[in-house]
Amino acid sequence: GQYYWALFGGSGVDPASGQLAGADVASQTRQILHNFEVMLAACGSDLRHVVHVDVFGSATGRAALVLHGGPGSGQTPMLRGGFDARAWRVVCIDQRGCGASSPRGGVDANTTHDLIADTEHVRTMLGIDEWLVVGGSWGASLALAYACAHPGAVQGLLLRSTFGASRNDVAA
Q: Per-residue confidence at 39, pLDDT binned at 50, 70, 90?
A: low
Convert the pLDDT of each residue in 14-26 to its tens digit. Answer: 444 433 344 433 3
Per-residue pLDDT tens over the stretch 124-145: 989 999 999 999 999 999 999 9
Mean pLDDT of 62-68: 95
| HEC per residue, 23-80 | CCHHHCCCCEEEEEEEEEEECCCCCEEEEEEEEEECCCCEEEEEECCCCCCCCCHHHH
Three-state SS letters, 152-171: HHEEEEEEEEECCCCHHHHH
Which pLDDT value is given to residue 138?
A: 92
Question: How deeply is 40 buried, as exposed, middle or buried, from its count of CB atoms within 10 A (0-12, 13-18, 19+)?
Answer: buried
The count of residues in the chain is 172
Q: How confident is the model at residue 36 (pLDDT cuts 50, 70, 90)?
A: low
Examine the pLDDT at 160 and tell me if it is beyond 70. Answer: yes
